């Protein structure tokens, strides 16, 4: 497990001035004391995916996301920082999650809005732990976790995997004496056993199935997100790219046979961003080894860009 410094950002140059701003000529390396802005923090890990018997390769996700973001145009001023990566080496997942949580908490305490770049969905518990640590000094609070995903990730295992993150959060919230607030958008009945649905029901998880997440039902989707955000003090959004159809997002650990459309995913992201409650977001399960024509990375980059520029 190591901490890797930011890499080199590069891309298309159209000239000087704010009218020619793109990610690569706007973002700077984060340093202690940087003015508050939006900070990216990578979690280069696929150990959780390996433990969950998925397709490994997500460890390269953070760099692929940076490459896809580099040439995107910025139409309004925004302070962007790259805080580097936490790299999970071998089987040191739990230590990597702790290091990511500590780095994330420090960024949040310094006033930054943060975006985690995955990596497998084992980033979820690391993100939660960092957010909870940062919020701890504020006194009583409630945190809502909004997950765009085909899977509940509520597996009860002896050790952390990419499929245990929300079960780990539920246990941590109970231990802290707080209510577990979890809403999942895009859940596939075909990809989750009845036991997992029963577990979600026991934990009070709010659920929208993939079959409910279509453009014709977009007002209900927006209402679902708005009501959930209103019910908590703070919001953490996590986007598992396997919620999207395999034709849109082939480069993931577990491709979707049905999935939910990009238009709907984007509306959920924008609703979360505009809620006024969002403190952290992350993108998970980008696997460049299977990403035809960088299709998945480009899609994820657009979601990150729109999230940051539309955050209320």
Start-end of H helices in the chain: 47-51, 61-69, 93-109, 123-135, 165-175, 194-202, 218-230, 262-273, 295-309
What's the whole-number average pLDDT of the chain? 94
Residue 296 burial (C-beta neighbours within 10 Å; 0-12, 13-18, 19+): buried
* Phi, psi at 73, each rounded to 5°: -80, 145
Token pair for residue 276? 């006024």
Quick one: average pLDDT of 190-199? 96
Question: Is the omega angle on the peptide bond into residue 293 within 30 degrees of 0, that is, cis?
Answer: no
| DSSP run (H or E) holding 209 | strand 206-209
Q: Tell me how far apart the alpha carbons of residues 240 and 118 are, in angstroms, rounded to a whole number.
A: 9
Q: What is the pLDDT of residues 232-245, one digit of tens each?
A: 999 999 999 999 99
- Residue 41, domain extent: 2-309
What number is the average pLDDT over the span 107-128? 97
Q: Token digits for 281?
A: 């977001």
Return the CATH number at 153: 3.40.800.10
Q: What are phi and psi of 304, to 5 degrees?
A: -65, -45
For residue 220, the number of C-alpha atoms closer than 13 Å in the C-beta half-sphere is: 13
What local confidence, expressed as pLDDT, does residue 257 receive?
Answer: 85
Binned at pLDDT 50, 70 and 90, residue 2 comes out as: low
Inform me whether the pLDDT recorded for 86 exceeds 90: yes
**Number of structural domains the chain divides into:** 1
What pLDDT score does 197 carry?
A: 98
Could you tell me the two tokens for 225? Answer: 């997100």
pTM, entire model: 0.96
For 39-43, 67-71, 159-163, 265-269, which range has the lowest pLDDT when averaged over its residues? 159-163
SS3 call for 138: helix
Share of residues in the chain with pLDDT > 70 (%): 98
Query: Does residue 137 carry a pLDDT above 70?
Result: no
Residue 84 to residue 63: CA distance in whole angstroms: 10
> Can you tell me the mean pLDDT for 179-196?
97
- State the angle between helix axes of 123-135 and 165-175 in degrees (0 to 180), rounded to the nearest 10: 30
Q: What is the dihedral of CA 17, 35, 110, 89, to 10 degrees?
A: 50
């Amino acid at each position: 497990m190591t901490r890797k410094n930011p890499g080199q950002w590069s891309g298309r140059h159209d000239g000087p001035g704010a009218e020619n701003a793109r990610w690569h000529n706007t973002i700077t390396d984060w340093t202690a004391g940087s003015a508050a802005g939006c900070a990216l923090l990578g979690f280069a890990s696929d150990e959780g995916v390996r433990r969950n018997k998925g397709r490994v390769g997500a460890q390269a996700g953070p760099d692929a996301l940076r490459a896809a973001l580099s040439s995107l145009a910025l139409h309004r001023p925004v302070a962007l920082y790259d805080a580097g990566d936490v790299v999970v080496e071998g089987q040191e997942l739990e230590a990597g999650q702790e290091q990511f949580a500590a780095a994330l908490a420090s960024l949040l305490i310094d006033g930054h809005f943060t975006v985690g770049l995955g990596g497998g969905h084992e980033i979820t518990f690391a993100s939660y732990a960092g957010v909870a640590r940062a919020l701890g000094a504020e006194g009583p609070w409630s945190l809502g976790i909004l997950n765009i995903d085909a899977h509940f990730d509520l597996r009860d295992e002896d050790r952390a995997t990419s499929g245990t993150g929300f079960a780990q959060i539920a246990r941590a919230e109970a231990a802290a004496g707080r209510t577990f607030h979890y809403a999942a958008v895009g859940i596939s009945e075909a990809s989750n056993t009845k036991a997992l649905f029963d577990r979600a029901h026991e934990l009070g998880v709010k659920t929208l199935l993939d079959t409910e997440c279509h453009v014709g039902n977009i007002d209900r989707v927006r209402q679902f997100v708005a009501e959930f955000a209103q019910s908590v003090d703070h919001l953490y959004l996590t986007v598992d790219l396997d919620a999207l159809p395999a034709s849109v997002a082939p480069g993931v650990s577990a491709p979707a046979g049905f999935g939910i459309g990009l238009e709907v995913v984007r509306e959920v992201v924008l609703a979360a961003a505009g809620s006024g409650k969002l403190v952290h977001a992350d993108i998970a399960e980008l696997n460049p080894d299977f990403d035809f024509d960088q299709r998945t990375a480009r899609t994820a980059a657009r979601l990150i860009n729109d999230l940051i520029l539309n955050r209320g």
